[in-house]
Amino acid sequence: MGSEDERDHSDQDGITIGSIVVAAIPFLALTLGPFIANRLEPRIFGLPFLLAYCVFWVLLTPVFLFWVDRLRKRR
């Protein structure tokens, strides 16, 4: 049973086009990128390029989500 104030804040959750675009970058990089980055050579830190590419984006995703959080709180 929420109060009147909770209903008012639920309408303004801070989702903007910018936050959706920023959140979509890692998703698109991990879903569409392997079609472009599917290479065995070169190797990065001993890993095939595609595996290094995926690891890079998995590790970078929290940075993008933090950025989305900052965009949402700024509003």
Closest CA to 41 of 52, 30, 28: 52
Degrees (nearest 5) of the Cα angle 49, 50, 55?
Answer: 95
Per-residue pLDDT tens for 27-62? 999 999 899 888 778 888 998 889 999 999 999 999
Residue 4 has pLDDT above 60, yes or no: no
Read off the pLDDT band of 3 (50, 70, 90).
Answer: low
Residue 10 has pLDDT above 60, yes or no: no
Per-residue pLDDT tens for 14-23? 788 888 999 9
Residue 55 to residue 67: CA distance in whole angstroms? 19
Residue 48 is inside which H or E element, if any? strand 47-48
Range of the domain at 15: 4-74
What's the total number of domains in the chain? 1
